[in-house]
């Protein structure tokens, strides 16, 4: 690769990196994207996409394996080919990764396979400099960076966008070993189905894998330090899902912390204890045993080897610091600039919310602001991201989706039910389309602001919840009221009629409940 100068170098080819690179190219910038592994990042290759393929498999298996009699179906010898289940997931990721390579060619984006190291930021008229090192071994299942080769090239750019994503957190006393102590990568690529599994962490990743393995018959135990599973979700949704999964055979241990993990000849021993007043109650500890253990305790920014310490790039709580602060709505306008001139960062590497759809939008806003600053008057100023209108989705079954405030958050802010907000809740037990599809478990809950009636928050536990949340995210973004939702005719029979019912319920007008 010859030395070149670009308007923008994007480091990382995930949901933030490749989207930002394409948008920058559309705006007329000369762009290079450096990625040391497969295009698509963790999301496409080891996260969002392949896990959804696995979960789709699990839902199908539930229907034909667990619910066959309900559907009037009979099987005499239903078997699971585990290797094909995993292979289908991997094939889905490979196909989409190749699609991104095509989009790069279409948009005339230079794609470089290698490890990037930033050696300088923009100093006056001098450009940013980035060393590109050859990757001798691509990062596949390991959580360590790719092995760096001896070959090196230096390229320059007016600006550099860091979009290197995140990596799973380990426990101080338990490191990923690629076998018995797994992260999400290993959990979606196991050679054989484990007979038993302990999942540490009941967030979205933990509960998705818990559902997947439990559906196929693995004995699953979930350990969560907080008082409920899916701790960031509304309490009513967490409680309802707890009942569903307990009935399905999962063991859910909440308000419980993990104090030790020991590998044994046959699997793992996990020591847990009640989590009381911010610490473990060692007097009541117990030891759990299983074939494998999955750590799903969150992520941290991934910037290993990305820059020399002399660059002075500011890091806060394992993430690169920019002008973004969690919880802000993006006003005043955010540029996602770091403390080093010419360097910007977006996506998981700058902190929560660690969501692919947020990373992509941050990248678009960032490069549009870069283009607008470079060519005043030629490009419009982008709309800032409203961080209070970001849908969160968990793809277990039934699915969980939400946007805006939980009732717990409103109460913590001093809001009073009946005075500052009203609750509209609709149970799917008698919902026509859900009954027809044998998916009539769950609920829709809408929090309506008083006195105006705006949607403060919405929470769904249902089949297709991650699709249904779109209407409520748009309603919140446009500051629509429940009255406006009520007078919007919803087709019958559909799942999204449940949104209409919950909205009606928030005004005391519920029809089917």
Domains contained in the chain, CATH given: 5-40+100-167+300-374 (3.50.50.60), 46-88 (no CATH), 181-297 (3.50.50.60), 398-505 (3.30.390.30)
pLDDT score of 142 = 46
Measured CA to CA, the distance from residue 386 to residue 389 in angstroms comes to 6
Q: What pairs with residue 154 in β-bridges?
A: 131
pLDDT score of 330 = 55
pLDDT score of 84 = 96
CB atoms within 10 A of CB 9: 31
Is 430 within 8 Å of 444 (Cβ atoms)? no
Mean pLDDT by 10 residues, the chain (513 residues): 80 97 96 93 90 96 91 90 95 91 96 94 92 68 56 92 96 93 94 97 98 97 98 98 98 98 96 95 96 97 91 95 74 85 97 95 96 84 89 97 97 97 97 96 98 97 98 96 97 97 97 91
Number of DSSP helices (H) and strands (E) in the chain, helices first:
13, 25
Instruction: Give me the active site residues, please.
Output: 492
pLDDT score of 416 = 97
Identify whether 493 is preceded by a cis peptide bond (ω within 30 of 0): yes
pLDDT score of 149 = 66
Give the rounded distance of the alpha carbon of 431 from its chain centre.
Answer: 29
Burial 424-453 (b: 16+ CB within 10 A, else e): bbbbbeebbbbeeeebbbbbbbbbbbbeeb
Give the rounded distance of the alpha carbon of 363 from its chain centre.
Answer: 16
DSSP code, position 253: E
Residue 294: C-alpha distances to residues 35, 74, 86, 239 (Å): 27, 34, 17, 23
CB atoms within 10 A of CB 219: 16
Selection from 201, 210, 261 nearest residue 232 by Cα: 201
CB atoms within 10 A of CB 377: 6
Which residue is associated with the tokens 């699709």? 467
Residue 311: C-alpha distances to residues 128, 301, 337, 339 (Å): 11, 18, 15, 10
Q: Is the pTM of this model over 0.75?
A: yes
Going by C-beta distance under 8 Å and a sequence separation of 6 or more, which residues neighbour residue 244? 398, 441
The pairs formed by 62-66 with CB atoms below 8 angstroms and a separation of 24 or more are 62/215, 62/397, 66/215
Going by C-beta distance under 8 Å and a sequence separation of 6 or more, which residues neighbour residue 324? 334, 336, 350, 351, 362
pLDDT score of 1 = 40
Going by C-beta distance under 8 Å and a sequence separation of 6 or more, which residues neighbour residue 279? none
Is 293 within 8 Å of 182 (Cβ atoms)? yes
């Amino acid at each position: 690769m010859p030395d070149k100068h670009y308007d923008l170098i994007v480091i990382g080819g995930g949901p933030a990196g490749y989207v930002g690179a394409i948008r920058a190219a559309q705006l007329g910038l000369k762009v290079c994207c450096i990625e040391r592994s497969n295009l698509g990042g963790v999301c496409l290759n080891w996260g969002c996409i392949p896990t959804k393929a696995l979960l789709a498999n699990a839902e199908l298996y539930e229907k034909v394996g667990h619910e066959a009699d309900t559907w009037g179906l009979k099987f005499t010898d239903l078997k699971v080919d585990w290797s094909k289940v995993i292979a289908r997931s991997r094939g889905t990721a490979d196909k989409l990764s190749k699609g991104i390579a095509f989009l790069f060619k279409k948009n005339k984006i230079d794609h470089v396979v290698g490890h990037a190291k930033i050696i300088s930021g923009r100093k006056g008229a001098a450009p940013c400099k980035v060393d590109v090192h050859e990757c001798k071994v691509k990062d596949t299942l390991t959580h360590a960076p790719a092995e760096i080769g001896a070959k090196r090239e230096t390229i320059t750019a007016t600006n550099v966008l860091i979009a290197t994503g995140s990596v799973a957190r380990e426990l101080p006393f338990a490191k990923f070993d690629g076998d018995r102590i797994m992260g999400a990568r290993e959990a979606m690529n196991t050679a054989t189905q484990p007979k038993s599994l302990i999942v540490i962490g009941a967030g979205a990743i933990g509960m998705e894998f818990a559902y997947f393995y439990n559906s196929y018959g693995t004995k699953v135990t979930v350990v969560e330090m907080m008082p409920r599973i899916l701790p960031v979700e509304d309490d009513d949704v967490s409680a309802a899902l707890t009942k569903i999964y307990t009935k399905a055979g999962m063991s859910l241990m909440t308000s419980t912390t993990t104090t030790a993990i020991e590998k044994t000849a046959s699997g793992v021993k996990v020591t847990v204890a009640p989590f009381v007043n911010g610490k473990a109650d060692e007097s009541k500890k117990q030891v759990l045993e299983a074939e494998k253990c999955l750590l799903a305790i969150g992520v941290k920014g991934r910037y290993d080897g990305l820059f020399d310490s002399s660059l002075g790039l500011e890091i806060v709580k394992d993430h690169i610091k920019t002008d973004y602060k969690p919880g802000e709505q993006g006003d005043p306008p955010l540029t996602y600039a770091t403390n080093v001139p010419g360097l910007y960062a977006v996506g998981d590497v700058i902190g929560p919310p660690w969501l692919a759809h947020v990373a992509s939008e941050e990248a678009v806003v960032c490069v549009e602001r870069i283009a607008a600053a470079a060519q005043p008057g030629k490009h419009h100023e982008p709309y800032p991201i409203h961080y209070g209108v970001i849908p969160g989705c968990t793809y277990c079954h039934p699915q969980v989706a939400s946007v805006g405030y939980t009732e717990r958050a409103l109460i913590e802010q001093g809001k009073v039910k009946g005075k500052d907000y009203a609750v509209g809740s609709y149970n799917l037990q008698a919902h026509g389309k859900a009954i027809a599809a044998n998916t009539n478990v769950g609920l829709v809950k809408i929090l309506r602001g008083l006195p105006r009636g705006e949607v403060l928050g919405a929470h769904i536990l249902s089949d297709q919840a991650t699709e249904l949340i779109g209407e409520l995210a748009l309603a919140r973004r446009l500051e629509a009221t429940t009255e406006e939702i009520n007078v919007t005719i919803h087709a019958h029979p559909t799942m999204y009629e449940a949104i209409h019912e919950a909205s009606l319920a928030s005004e005391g007008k519920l029809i089917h409940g």
